[in-house]
Amino acid sequence: MSALNQTEKNLLYLFEKPYEPLDRPRGVDEAGCDIATPVFLSSHSGPGVETCVSVLKRTDAVLANLGAALTVPKGKPFSFFLRPHRRAAKDLCDVFMETKEPEDLIQVAASVRDKVNEGLFAYALAFTIIRKPELRQMRLPAVIETFPGWFVPQEELTHALVKANKENRQQPETIIIEHGPDFSSTTIKAEHRVSYWREDYGINSHHWHWHLVYPASMGVNRDRKGELFFYMHTQMLARYDMERLSVDLRRVQKLENWRQPIPDGYFPKLTVNNSGRAWGSRQDNTPLMDFRRRNSGLDFVDITDIEIWRSRLLDGIHQGFMVDREGKPVHLRDDVASGKRGIDIIGDAIEADPELSVNFPYYGDLHNTGHVLIAFSHDPDYAHKEEMGVMGDTATAMRDPVFYRWHKFVDDMFQEYKLTQPPYTLEDLQLPDVKVERVGVVWGDQSNSLVTGWSVKEFEASRGLDFNAGNPVLLRLTHLDHQPFNYHIMVVNKKQEPIQVTVRIFLAPRENELGETMEFMDQRLLWAEMNKFTVQLEPGSNDIVRASKESSVTSPSELTFRDIEKGQRGTPGSPDKAEFDFCRCGWPQHLLLPRGKPGGMAFQLFVMITDFEKDKVPQTPSSRRCGNGVSFCGILDAQYPDSRPMGFPFDRRPAPVLGEQRITSAADLATLDNIFLQDITITFTNSNLEK
**What residues are annotated to the active site?**
351
- CB nearer to ligand CUO: give 229 or 454: 229
Name the residue nearer to ligand CUO (CB basis): 407 or 590: 407
CA 34/CA 556 separation, integer angstroms: 40
Minimum Å distance from CB 14 to ligand CUO? 26
Query: Of how many residues is the chain composed?
Result: 691
Q: Which is nearer to ligand CUO, 10 or 204 (CB)?
A: 204
Closest by CA to 676, choosing from 492, 511, 447, is: 492
Question: CB of 51: closest distance to ligand CUO in angstroms?
Answer: 36
* CB-based contact 224:344 (threshold 8 Å): yes
| Cβ-contact 72, 116 below 8 angstroms | yes
Angle at CA 553, nearest 5°, toward 547 and 557?
A: 75
Residue (of 11, 26, 18, 22) closest to 144 by Cα position? 18
CA distances from 64 to 112, 196, 272, 302 (A): 10, 45, 28, 36
Q: What is the spatial distance between Cα 138 and Cα 2, in angstroms, rounded to a whole number?
A: 12
CB 382 within 8 A of CB 295: yes
Q: Which is nearer to ligand CUO, 87 or 407 (CB)?
A: 407
- Least distance from C-beta 345 to ligand CUO, angstroms? 18
DSSP classification of residue 425: P
Kindly tell me which of 179 and 367 has the beta carbon lying closer to ligand CUO. 367
Beta bridge partners of 318: none
Q: How far is the CB of 235 from ligand CUO (least distance, A)?
A: 12
For ligand CUO, which is the closer residue by CB, 52 or 352?
352
- CA 549, chain centre distance (Å): 17
Q: Cα-atom radius of gyration of the chain, to the nearest Å?
A: 25
Nearer to ligand CUO, 109 or 402 (CB): 402
In this complex, which beta carbon is closest to ligand CUO, that of residue 379 or of residue 400?
400
The nearest distance, CB 355 to ligand CUO, in angstroms, is 17
Selection from 576, 393, 588, 460 nearest residue 141 by Cα:
460
Cis preceding linkage at 469, omega within 30: no
- CB of residue 395 to ligand CUO, shortest distance in Å: 11
The 10 Å Cβ neighbour count of residue 649 is 22
Q: What's the closest the beta carbon of residue 276 comes to ligand CUO, in angstroms?
A: 26
Q: Which residue is nearest to ligand CUO (CB)?
A: 397
Query: Which residue, 139 or 211, has its beta carbon nearer to ligand CUO?
Result: 211
HEC assignment per residue over 34-55 = CCCCCEEEEEEEECCEEEEEEC
Q: In a 10 Å sphere around its CB, with 0-12 CB exposed, 13-18 middle and 19+ buried, how is residue 563 labelled?
A: middle
Residue 498 burial (CB count, 10 A): 12
Q: 445: how many CB neighbours lie within 10 A of its CB?
A: 5
555 vs 610, which CB is nearer to ligand CUO? 555
d(CA 83, CA 274): 25
Residue 561 C-beta: closest distance to ligand CUO, Å: 26
Residues that bind ligand CUO (CB under 6 A): 207, 211, 233, 367, 371, 397, 407
Q: How far is the CB of 391 from ligand CUO (least distance, A)?
A: 8
Residue environment code for 600-618, b if the CB has 16+ CB neighbours within 10 A, otherwise e = ebebbbbbbbbbbeebeee
Could you tell me the smallest distance in angstroms from the CB atom of residue 465 to ligand CUO? 26
Answer for the pair 286, 263: CB distance below 8 angstroms, yes or no: no
How far apart (Å, rounded) are the C-alpha atoms in residues 38 and 58?
11
CA neighbor of 153 nearest in space, from 131, 180, 184, 193: 184
Residue type, 198: R
* Residue 677 amino acid letter: L
